[in-house]
Structure 1
Amino acid sequence: MVRFDGKVGIITGAASGIGRAIAEQFARDGGHAVIADLDIEAARKAAYEIGKLGPEPMAVAMDVTNENQVEDGVASVAKKFGRIDVLVSNAGIQIVKPLAEFPFQDWKKLLSIHLDGAFLTTRACLKYMYAQKSGAVVYIGSVHSKEASKLKAPYVTAKHGLIGLCKVVAKEGAEHNVRANVVCPGFVRTPLVEKQIPEQAAELGISDDEVVHNVMLKDTVDGEFTTVGDVADAVLYFAGFPNNALTGQSLVISHGWFMQ
């Protein structure tokens, strides 16, 4: 098991779901978990509870599409703890609609959260990581970083884009001992996915149960959802790897939905 004793990790979108699970595991492994979330009250509540698992956490209000909020939030973390060791870019949304009917404002909103957010938080953290000559960036991609599904044009586009960003960060960061990798989960039964089930059912004219078994999980080897714990384990493996042997890579965690 990798230990993160005294290390500081910023996890965006960490008040719930996958981000919350990553923050909890980071704390259990000895790190200071920073819960950066649009909902500051939810972030504070999560930080209070995560504080029972490990070292002192921190809650930060952060709209990842707001440059000033990102810069100020990251600076406040560095001021409090004196370092930033890990960034997990996890904040994201989903909007389901056929491409021919997709509103441009929704396209821009989704890409901004996933891609602008990843760029802004990465840029803000890199100056601290470069200064201390160490750090790890982990992007939460998706099986949709590798292949497409109907009704998800901007999401698939954004998740593919994270792999490109990761590779650039890996190349530019190497001389500063900063690594970047992507974890690509299959369907995880978070509130984000729960919301999609009836939406896809309505778009496709099928039942919720058919969406789960015939759309979401039909290509897995066992018909099982990926868990938040599965994702957290993969993230912390990347975050804790000791050198540049593992950088610029993506790892799919999907019960065999996508194999490479």
Structure 2
Amino acid sequence: MTIRVVIADDEILARDELSYLLGQWEEIEIVGEAEDGLEAYQKIVELKPDVVFLDIQMPEMNGLMVAKKLIDEGIKTLIVFSTAFDEHAIKAFEMNAVDYLLKPFDEERLANTIERIKKRIEKPNQEKITELLYQMMDESKKKETKKNISKLAVQTDERVIFLDPNEIVYAYREGRDVRIKTVKDTYLTKFTLQVLEEKLKKYPFFRTHRSYLVNLDYIEELVPWFNGTYNLTMKDPEHSKVPVSRQYVKMLKDVLGL
């Protein structure tokens, strides 16, 4: 039996790790990878894999949206979710025939997943996962899922740095690059600003400008600038100036109670 697999995860390190671990099984053939939800959906439609290992938190479309779309369209690819968060979702997955993997991946747990996949291929049944997905989509409308991260893994060109989100002063886009400014240093990251905003939803970050994401706890001053715009002075050693565009001024004042 050959099991054709697509891996979908916005983190290249997670994709590489899962690809390596799955490569230990002769019956597994990795036919494609995707780094966001939209690409995952397109790869699944194009390649028609037996299984997709689907990260829950991805840009463009999250994993739940991708899975719901596949089911709505009658696409029979089996779904294994991977997540570093969403403990309430994990409990739900445990009651379902489709499996989940908790990051960081565990080899023994993955072996159990492969066995469950084999059984599902022999005896397909999608009813339970359909019910679960609709339940979770409804729940996500009522309350946004928050990631319980304690450290933010920032991949640079040469290494991975683990930052405490509480020590991030702001993040900003400079050309095509996105940088994270902490009290002590500045880091170039491979995240987009949109992905960073999603990852830091649990923390008091606010988008003040299309190119800036600010930690509200580090605001020192809000100063009028010109034509309805403002500047923020931040509580870092450089007293950095961060712009607030007109479209975000009212929302920022509301958040700050002004």
TM-score, normalisation: structure 1: 0.36
Which structure has more relative contact order (CA 8 Å, sep 6+)? It is 1
- Say which structure is richer in strand: 2
Task: Looking at secondary structure, tell me which structure has more helix per residue.
Answer: 1
